[in-house]
Structure 1
Amino acid sequence: MTTTSPATPRDLSPDADTRAALDGSLERLRTGSAGWSALTAAARRDLLREIRSAVEAAAEDWARIAAESKGLEPRHPLAGEEWLAGPYAALVALDAYAGSLDALARGRSPLAGVRIGTGPGGRTVVHSAPLRASDRLLLSGYTTEVWVQPGVTPHEARDAAGLASRHPHRTGGVGLVLGAGNVTSIPFLDVLYELLAEGRVALLKVNPTQDALVPVFERVFAPLIRAGFVSVVSGGGDVGAYLTRHPGIDHVHVTGSESTFRAIVGSDEDRLRVPITAELGGVSPIIVVPGRWSAADLRFQAEHVATMRLHNSGHNCIAGQVVLMSRDWEQRDDFLRELHRALTRAPRRPVWYPSAVERLGRVRDTYPDAVWFADDTRALVTGGGEVETTEYFAPVLGIVDLPGTGAAFLDTAIAHANDRLTGTLGANVLIDPATLAGLGTGFDDAVARLRYGTVAVNAWTAFGFLTPTATWGAYPGGTIDDAPSGIGVVHNALLLDRVERTVVRGPFRPFPRSLGRGRFSVLPKPPWFVTSRTGRAVSEGFARFRIDGRFGPLLVTLVRAFGA
């Protein structure tokens, strides 16, 4: 999600030379669209393998440039975020899409061999990860499920999987991808989705915050650029505005803010003439279900919550923003003390995204009793109000107290999240194994009532974002006139149709405390935690394992993980 709009008032326009260059790019893509539709699934799979080799070669530069653009030294522990959210995300997505294309090339469904079950209300549930032995090791204890919309049978889900890649010879025209400015894999992944799920060649307009990465995008997309299937351009709002109204564009996809979306859609007098999909962020809840937690549980989950807010300095649509807690929980104050400590311990970092510092100033005015950390660069506010309705896109975390315990609290928290918080992108639920077991099947019924596109249980919704065979996007129902978190989904490397949501499940306790106490995991503190001292080394190690598949260095990486 970004806050820099790619659309500007229509009286602004790029200069003549820029317009000519953009027109030329679109003309090449229009010609390339016919070539893309001539490729079989097998040919597209082979092209993805070429792109994978290009990503492998560019991975180190990609992670280094991304870290430096955010004010981090490449070897800073938090620079691991740029390995995971950049080249790692690209590599696992390419592998997953290639697997789906390989299945289609062999006349099979991408869901062949994938376990399918049943969820609340008879929903078809696709157990989308882990699907590889290496994932079971690297991401031990974490799983994802894609819940298909009610009424879709397993047979229908299998038959429809593949989307536009089931019929590669149908052309989808030219799609405009207005790239996000915060997470470097988003533009890359959105382009892949245009090509493989929608059958469209793509013009990627890079957000100005990622201009330093344009040469990297050109390197990794080189096989597609040479063939006329992708073009990469840069520029400000004038370029975005010109392209959204260009007659050579058949579809627009944007990752940004709702204000950006509204600017692109335009007024009745200047309405966008082509379809649009979007991911627009929102205010994500972190529901803390009361239970009996040990001191280690309190500390670990407080660091978990701090990570949800402070990752990427809070400049994430994925970020948790409002903690919904029980005022009747006996350990409420203990948890808040640990949360204060976690917000204090997390390494200091620049607040780098445009206008984020100004938004922090607005928080100071709106919440004079806020508690500030790290030289006043991160805030904890108590009570509702603006924190529930405004996505700050900055390191601001809210605490809202609700009544009740057990199922009663969970019901109240779900209703509050659905009705009071802006957006439907992602929700997080933290619940200890004993309380979870006590709720039985009622817990999944509660998850089904959460109107969010991704629900993470004892995990962060970012895990769903990072898992290519999961889906990422708003809860279904967004329209051009009312799209609080967007329209449609992306990622979705199994190419599923009629998706309702993704559900992520993770371990409440890390290794070794996970032994015999709920969902097992061999991971100690996850490398994406902002408090991990070895986050950069372990995240880079995960990415390098994806590159070369060598288990020797991976074992060294896993040993380092225990030094977190």
Structure 2
Amino acid sequence: MTGSTTAPTAEADLAVLREHADEWVRTPIEDKRELLRRLRAATADAAADWVRQSCLDKGVDPATPAAGEEWMGGPWAVLETASALIATLTTVVEGRNPLDGLRVRSLPGGRLGLRVFPVTASDLALAGFTAHTWLRPGVTLEQARDGAARGVRERSGPGRVALVLGAGNVGSIPVLDVLAKLFQDGAVVLLKMSPVNENLRPVLGRVLAPFVERGFVRITTGGAEEGTRLMRHPDVAAVHVTGSRDTHDAVVFGAGAEGARRRAAREPLLAKPVTSELGGVSPVVVVPGRWSEATLVRQARHVATQRLNHSGFNCVATQVVVLPQRWPQAEEFVRLLRAALREAPWRRAYYPGAAQRQRAALDAHPGAEVLGGDSDAPRVLLRDLDPAAPDEPAFTTEYFAPTLGVTRLPGADPGEFLRAAVRFCNERLAGDLGATLLVDPATGRRLGGDLEEAVAALRYGNVGVNCWVALAYGIPRAPWGAFPGHDVHDVGSGLGTVHNALLLDPAHVERSVVRGPFHPVPTPAWFVDNRTAHVTTEHLTRFAGAPSRRVALREVAATLASAVRG
């Protein structure tokens, strides 16, 4: 049973969900855990078909390294999240707290940090990387423990129906958003697929079948008109949106001039709770140091990956590179970055509107460099963006296409530059979903506590230090969302959190911070020039879904053997 429907039957789907909403709240934790175990098995079974369909839709040969993005961004992410949620529910069943055993550290500004990766032995597949969830200033460990999995533990309150407007780019997003609504928010879910990836409907129906069979999830399709009708349906109590800020504002206030007027007047059309993940203009800040030629090459490849992974269609793709004006190696870094962008494997610009967005970027920047790629939406480098220009569109418009800008800031030393870069990112760039910092170990030691203060000062919901911030998306115990403090009238990069497999109270969470080695060995599988990414990530996915220890050991050995050749 797939649970997949077309728009005319959505009314019947809502009736089923309404009927089972209270049942979901009352369902014993052991039964919810069993549903997750069945989802995990279904995901492992559907993984190859999932990747095959995603590759077909995006013009990717499944036998090439680019397919690795579909393995990691599809079934692997769902398997990891399902396993983490199973572990959380198990702690509750056993009378323990989901935060038991986590390392806790004190952070600037009266914050606490929970180390949420690595936690299990399987996390060592990404050895060298760590993640911490930063609680909001003043939130105590006791408060965090009390809030963790509270809804699952208490099993009280009326049931609700939530509508998830699925993302069209990364295949796991719709499923992870459904799981967040089920387990974090306690709602049953109608998932409306995006027209961009609605061909995944049958395979996602297989993945979600355990919940569909119980009447807790339904899947439907349709365009913007159907989405609007469902959002305003009286049976829908809450809505989750993944997309752009414009998408969110059209949902909440309506489109066009009338929608803009309503937003300015704070008169929403949709008077329901709305959560969202909306992307923005994500930066990478390059802190100056003395880098070898090999390091310059590696970090140029790293930054190129941050823009070109998934053909540039990521909500947290880097769009602006922030360099120091006085860094003697800046010009060489830009030269190598240009080469990395040009030489990266060709990818089709599959997402609708990419050509128009690229044309807008080129029209606004007469000196832009075109560096190959899909001729409909080529790779574009905007070399010398003026950081003081009040109307620079690359700072305020998420191009959602393979466009990368470079700007330079003053600073007499790394600390002064870093403070200037933090101010620039916070004040000039649209959105607050994710930012990345690159700082070599020697410079990091010289900065000392100033580096942690800079991370604390960045107003972003996710921060990566020496690894692309998108890694936080794939760490299920790290909540994923924009920096808190917005509302629907000024939404930033969104409201609320998803993933969050520890089921922390979203009101307690400030951000997730991921860290990686400055010199990662072997080349991470998400690098766009990794030569064995498709093989490595297929084995990594099979390891994540292994039904036995014997299979897991076989797959982890195969993962490592492939990874070292990447």
Which runs of no fewer than 5 residues in structure 2 stay unpaired? 254-258, 387-391
CA distance in 2, matches of 1:366, 1:397: 13
Matches within 5 A, 1:478-517: 478-497=486-505, 498-511=508-521
Deviates further, 36-45 or 159-168: 159-168
CA distance in 2, matches of 1:115, 1:227: 37
State the Cα deviation string for residues 477-507 of structure 1 (Å, max 9, x = none): 1101000101111111011121000001100
Tell me the secondary structure at the aligned position of residue 66 of structure 2. Answer: helix
Match among 394, 409, 412 for residue 417 of structure 2: 409
Deviates further, 304-313 or 116-125: 116-125
State the Cα deviation string for residues 374-420 of structure 1 (Å, max 9, x = none): 25510110214111110000000000011113100000000000000
Contact 1:173 1:201 in 2 (8 A): yes
Match among 432, 453, 477 for residue 445 of structure 1: 453
CA distance in 1, matches of 2:50, 2:519: 33
Matches within 5 A, 1:523-542: 524-542=522-540
Aligned: 1:193 with 2:180: yes
User: Equivalent pairs: percent with the same residue?
Assistant: 46
CA distance in 2, matches of 1:20, 1:144: 44
One-letter code aligned to 2:128 = G
Task: Give me the CA root mean square deviation.
Answer: 1.3
Counterpart for residue 514 of structure 1: none
Contact 1:172 1:198 in 2 (8 A): no
Aligned: 1:477 with 2:485: yes
One-letter code aligned to 2:54 = A
Contact 1:308 1:460 in 2 (8 A): yes
One-letter code aligned to 2:501 = A
Counterpart for residue 234 of structure 1: 221
State the Cα deviation string for residues 160-195 of structure 1 (Å, max 9, x = none): 111421222333400000000110100000000000
Counterpart for residue 119 of structure 2: 131
CA distance in 2, matches of 1:270, 1:421: 25
Deviates further, 392-401 or 66-75: 66-75
One-letter code aligned to 2:447 = L
> Following TM superposition, by how much is the alpha carbon of 1:274 offset from its aligned partner in structure 2, in angstroms?
1.1
State the Cα deviation string for residues 125-148 of structure 1 (Å, max 9, x = none): 110001012212x10110000000
Counterpart for residue 555 of structure 1: 557
One-letter code aligned to 1:470 = A
Contact 2:22 2:159 in 1 (8 A): no
Contact 2:540 2:555 in 1 (8 A): no
CA distance in 2, matches of 1:93, 1:393: 26
> Following TM superposition, by how much is the alpha carbon of 1:19 offset from its aligned partner in structure 2, in angstroms?
6.3
Deviates further, 138-147 or 115-124: 115-124
Aligned: 1:329 with 2:327: yes
CA distance in 2, matches of 1:81, 1:312: 7
Contact 1:40 1:105 in 2 (8 A): no
CA distance in 2, matches of 1:36, 1:553: 35
One-letter code aligned to 1:357 = A
Counterpart for residue 161 of structure 2: 174
CA distance in 1, matches of 2:6, 2:199: 19
> Following TM superposition, by how much is the alpha carbon of 1:270 offset from its aligned partner in structure 2, in angstroms?
6.2
Counterpart for residue 292 of structure 1: 290
Tell me the secondary structure at the aligned position of residue 218 of structure 2. Answer: strand
> Following TM superposition, by how much is the alpha carbon of 1:262 offset from its aligned partner in structure 2, in angstroms?
0.8
Contact 1:281 1:485 in 2 (8 A): yes
State the Cα deviation string for residues 67-111 of structure 1 (Å, max 9, x = none): 111110111111100000000000000000111111111222111
Aligned: 1:431 with 2:427: no
Tell me the secondary structure at the aligned position of residue 401 of structure 2. Answer: coil
Tell me the secondary structure at the aligned position of residue 380 of structure 1. Answer: strand
Contact 2:433 2:482 in 1 (8 A): yes
Match among 119, 129, 133 for residue 146 of structure 1: 133
Counterpart for residue 209 of structure 1: 196
Counterpart for residue 81 of structure 2: 93
> Following TM superposition, by how much is the alpha carbon of 1:442 offset from its aligned partner in structure 2, in angstroms?
1.6
CA distance in 1, matches of 2:182, 2:406: 41
One-letter code aligned to 1:46 = E
Contact 1:171 1:200 in 2 (8 A): no
Which runs of no fewer than 5 residues in structure 1 stay unpaired? 1-16, 512-523
One-letter code aligned to 1:54 = A
CA distance in 2, matches of 1:303, 1:56: 32
One-letter code aligned to 1:540 = E
**TM-score (normalised: structure 1):** 0.93
Aligned: 1:260 with 2:225: no
> Following TM superposition, by how much is the alpha carbon of 1:223 offset from its aligned partner in structure 2, in angstroms?
1.0
Deviates further, 245-254 or 102-111: 102-111
CA distance in 1, matches of 2:420, 2:245: 27
> Following TM superposition, by how much is the alpha carbon of 1:537 offset from its aligned partner in structure 2, in angstroms?
0.7
Q: 1:19 to 1:217 in 2, by over 3 A?
A: closer
Contact 2:182 2:189 in 1 (8 A): yes
Counterpart for residue 389 of structure 2: none
Aligned: 1:272 with 2:270: yes
Deviates further, 33-42 or 448-457: 33-42
Aligned: 1:63 with 2:51: yes
CA distance in 2, matches of 1:563, 1:327: 37
Counterpart for residue 83 of structure 1: 71
Tell me the secondary structure at the aligned position of residue 517 of structure 2. Answer: coil
Tell me the secondary structure at the aligned position of residue 109 of structure 2. Answer: helix
CA distance in 2, matches of 1:428, 1:460: 6
CA distance in 1, matches of 2:220, 2:243: 17
> Following TM superposition, by how much is the alpha carbon of 1:112 offset from its aligned partner in structure 2, in angstroms?
1.1
Counterpart for residue 279 of structure 2: 281
Counterpart for residue 111 of structure 1: 99
> Following TM superposition, by how much is the alpha carbon of 1:434 offset from its aligned partner in structure 2, in angstroms?
0.3
